[in-house]
Copies of this chain bind each other. A is one copy, B any other.
Amino acid sequence: MSRTSSKAVPAEASGVPVQPEIRSLSGTGSLSIAGVAEQAGVSVATVSRVLNGHENVRPATRDKVLAAVDASGYRVNELARNLRTAESRLLLTMVPDVGNPFYAEIVRGIDSVARQHGYFMLLCDTGADPGRERSYFDLLRRRRADGAICLDPATIQQALGEASHALPWVACCEFDPSVRVPYVGIDNYRAAGDAVRHLLARGHRRVGLINSDVDYLYARQRQQGYLDALTDAGIAPDPAWRMNLNSLDYEAGASAAVTLTQQTHAPSAIFAVSDTLAIGVIHGLRSVGKRVPDDVAVVGFDDISLAAQIDPPLTTIAQPMRELGETAARLLLQRLANPLANVPGVLLPHRLVIRGSA
């Protein structure tokens, strides 16, 4: 022992085994509830009661315990508590891409209500990869998380649903009606229609659609909304006006825009299903010398904070991102509190925000 210079451990130095010292060094160096109980001269049950704010504790006793906790700097070992109470107090959130500002804002909404209810959020970026998704989902079975919020494509949810409709999870933004699971989202069909009708009202007849992968329910719904809005206006949608991308990155939107406008009878307006895509579209258009909105009008989707900052400011469909996240978290918490009650699906309102791009 090299601790001979220490002057506060005479008993230890003399070879006598001393309970308190030993106890306080147990495990990984931190004190356990038993140590606090000892220091306070009470039982572990009483310490536990004080720690958990139970009623049946005399004020004097409570003070003794609190003093001991304070003096020792004790912190409850939540690993033990979690095992005992059989809950991890963690909420799993699965996102296709944390880097997308749209998802980032939803995640914040989730996080804020989770924390408000004593839960922490385990954030997992799935990259929309079914394999990764599935392995994350397994965290529920392994009890590492109490529940999950899934923002991934409906196709994936379907697979999850089969395997585990019994597990506590809810769908956010994406949801497959055939999977019986609580969800929150918006009316993508109507929203897309609103976007297209705005373009129509501006006099456009050839309206392009830059869509994401049809794995996403929203992609299918928005496409249908786009198609029907056009048809309703007496326009026969040309398949050449449509593109499906497997990315929402700026670059993807940029090159799609170039392709789309390079053809004869090219669209005079483009509806992109994401603001990030739309921003890329504007960039791509500019790179081939087209002016927005004069040569080509552009409308996006989401209304991320960036939308108002670019040139020209983006006309877009606003989604209540924060509320989407908050609602998802609340639905999940509700499900956790009462596993039997069947939680309803909820649709939040969207809004057309008209700026300079269309």
Report A's interface with B, CB cutoff 8 A. Answer: 27-28, 30, 75-80, 82-83, 86, 88, 90, 98-99, 101, 104-105, 107-108, 111, 120-125, 138-139, 141-144, 249-251, 254, 279-280, 282-283, 286, 305-306, 308-311
Contact = CB atoms under 8 A, between A and B. Distances in A.
A99 B98 contact: no
Report how many copies the assembly holds.
Answer: 2
A28 B86 CA distance: 8
A249 B310 CA distance: 13
A250 B120 CA distance: 29
Contacts of A143: 75, 77-79
A107 B249 CA distance: 18
Given A101-B99, A309-B254, A120 B120 contact: no
A254 B27 CA distance: 54
A108 B99 contact: yes
B75 A279 contact: no
Given A78-B144, A105-B99, A309 B279 contact: yes
A139 B75 CA distance: 9
Nearest to A100: B104
Given A99-B108, A250-B306, 7 more contacts: A78-B144, A79-B79, A79-B86, A98-B108, A104-B104, A111-B125, A120-B139
A142 B77 contact: yes
5 contacts: A79-B143, A99-B305, A120-B144, A310-B311, A311-B311
B309 A280 contact: yes
A138 B86 contact: no
Contacts of A279: 306, 309-310
Nearest to A138: B75
A104 B108 contact: no
Of A80, A101, A120, A280, most B-chain CB atoms within 10 Å: A120
A320 to B, nearest CB: 16
A237 B26 CA distance: 59
A163 to B, nearest CB: 10
Contacts of A254: 309
B75 A141 contact: yes
Of A144, A280, A283, most B-chain CB atoms within 10 Å: A144
Contacts of A80: 83
Nearest to A87: B79
B86 A108 contact: no
A139 B120 CA distance: 10
A283 B305 contact: no
A101 B80 CA distance: 37
Nearest to A127: B108
A107 to B, nearest CB: 6
Contacts of A306: 250, 279, 306
Contact of A120 (B107, B124, B249): B124
A90 B282 CA distance: 41
Contacts of A138: 75
Contacts of A82: 79, 82-83
Contacts of A76: 142
Nearest to A76: B142
